[in-house]
Amino acid sequence: MAGIFSKTDKLNEIMNWRLNRQGMISSNIANIDTPGYKAKDLAFEREFENELKLTQTSAKHIASEPSGPKYVVTEDPYERIGNDGNTVDIDREMVKLAQNQLLYSAAAQDVARQIEGIKDTIRGIS
């Protein structure tokens, strides 16, 4: 059964990332006025895929999935830093919030469509 769910699993992974990113964005927004707080983000680590390829070509290694989520915490770049050392930009965070929420929902819709498509295929087997 593994083959037909590969796209669904990929979407699941993306949704996990967006879920975790939501936590990061919420933290930034909660700490909008905390002295010394540095705004952070969560990037989807594409470099992990390259790392996996290297592991597979080396004869000594057994090709295995990197354990744990493939994301990395990054610090948000900032132009100005407030007197209190806080780097959260409220406008940028609100944009991130809207974007993350929207793309999470889009992925959810994608999954629902995938599932429906697979169910149709199976219904088609008489």
Partner 1 sequence: MDLFTAMDISASGLKAQRTRINVISSNIANAETTRTAEGGPYKRQDAVFESKPFEDVLAGVEVSEIVTDKAEGRRIYNPGHPDADASGMVTMPNVNTMEEMVNLIGATRGFEANTTAIKAQKDMALRALNIGSK
Partner 2 sequence: MMKIDGFNNTDLAKFGQPAKPAGSGSSFLDTLKEAIDTTNQSVKEADKASLELATGQNTNIHEAMIAGQKASIEVQFMVKATNKLIQGYNELMNIR
By beta-carbon proximity to partner 2, the closer residue of 22 and 34 is 22
Continuous H helices in 31-89 = 47-57
Q: What single-letter amino acid sits at 29?
A: I
* Cβ burial, residue 6 (10 Å; 0-12/13-18/19+): exposed
CA atoms 118, 119, 120, 124: torsion sign: positive
CA distances from 110 to 20, 37, 78 (A): 19, 36, 34
By beta-carbon proximity to partner 2, the closer residue of 1 and 62 is 1
Pick the piece of the chain touching partner 1 (CB under 8 A) from 22-30, 46-54, 59-67: 22-30
Q: Is 43 in the site for partner 1 (CB under 8 A)?
A: no
Q: Is 81 in the site for partner 1 (CB under 8 A)?
A: no
Pick the piece of the chain touching partner 1 (CB under 8 A) from 44-52, 55-63, 102-110: 102-110
- Which residues of the shown chain bind partner 1 in the complex (CB under 8 A)? 15, 19-20, 22-27, 29-35, 37, 40, 73, 90, 93-94, 97-98, 100-101, 104-105, 108-109, 111-112, 115-116
